[in-house]
Amino acid sequence: MIPSNRFRDREDAGRRLSVPLLGYTSSNPIVLGLPRGGVPVAFEVARALGAPLDVWVVRKLGVPWQPELAMGAVAEGGVVFLDDALIARLGIGPLEVERERERKLLQVEQRVRQYRGDRPRPTLRDRTVILVDDGIATGSTARAAVRALRAERPRELVLAAPVAAPDTVAELGAEFDRVVTVLTPVDLFAIGRWYDDFTQVPDDEVRRLVERAAREYAAAQRTSSKGVQHVSR
């Protein structure tokens, strides 16, 4: 059965996800999208909160004979999360894990350069950081991300996704300061099931959205600054 309350697309999901996050507007947050699918969602969240947008690159470690099944993940900064229980249950050898880890770490480095260009990694220390994805199933990506992000010493670390498995949300609640979702269906099955349009997001679109968000945020800051100067006179 097709769910009746699903999202039209990632833009619709981002707008709906923004509502429970509006309380963070006054805390000067930064929004980080998980490429690729999380970035269009994060774009709408950043716009609603008047916050800057950047990416945080994480790559799933796929089981060798079933790449879509995550046995862990790696994040920028070199942080690795491994699902040791799954690896043991499937009998995946250490050489296979290491081969996949090295391959995905290289992809992380390449995608950081591709999406962020020459810009430095955003400063997260003492800031409210809102990490956004388009959906959370097993949570392996989020677990790798949270370990890397904690090293940046943010003031508060929030995970936000339009749809997520309730058991995973409960588990991730112990690692993030808060987890925000719109839907937590017990019959999640697959993230794409909760979207009318779940088309893959191209790399060019990720880059375009990040650049567009930077322009809009800079323009808003200039307008705000002029308003303050006008009042002070």
Q: Which domain, by its residues, includes 157?
A: 10-232
Quote the number of domains for the chain: 1
Assigned domain for 2 exists? no
Assigned domain for 5 exists? no
What's the pLDDT at 135?
97
User: What's 162's DSSP letter?
Assistant: E
Assigned domain for 3 exists? no
Assigned domain for 76 exists? yes
User: What's 114's DSSP letter?
Assistant: H
* Tokens representing residue 219 in the block: 């323009």
Which of 28, 10, 36 is CA-nearest to residue 220? 28
User: What's 23's DSSP letter?
Assistant: G
Assigned domain for 1 exists? no
Assigned domain for 55 exists? yes
- What whole-number distance in Å separates Cα of residue 160 and Cα of residue 182? 9
CATH number for the domain spanning 27: value is: 3.40.50.2020
pTM of the full predicted structure? 0.90
pLDDT tens, position by position, 72-82 = 889 988 888 89
158, β-bridge pairs: 130, 178
Assigned domain for 138 exists? yes
Of 10-19, 59-68, 112-121, 220-229, the range with the highest mean pLDDT is 10-19
Assigned domain for 129 exists? yes
**Exposure of 219 by Cβ count < 10 A (0-12 exposed, 13-18 middle, 19+ buried)?**
exposed
Residue 156 has pLDDT above 60, yes or no: yes
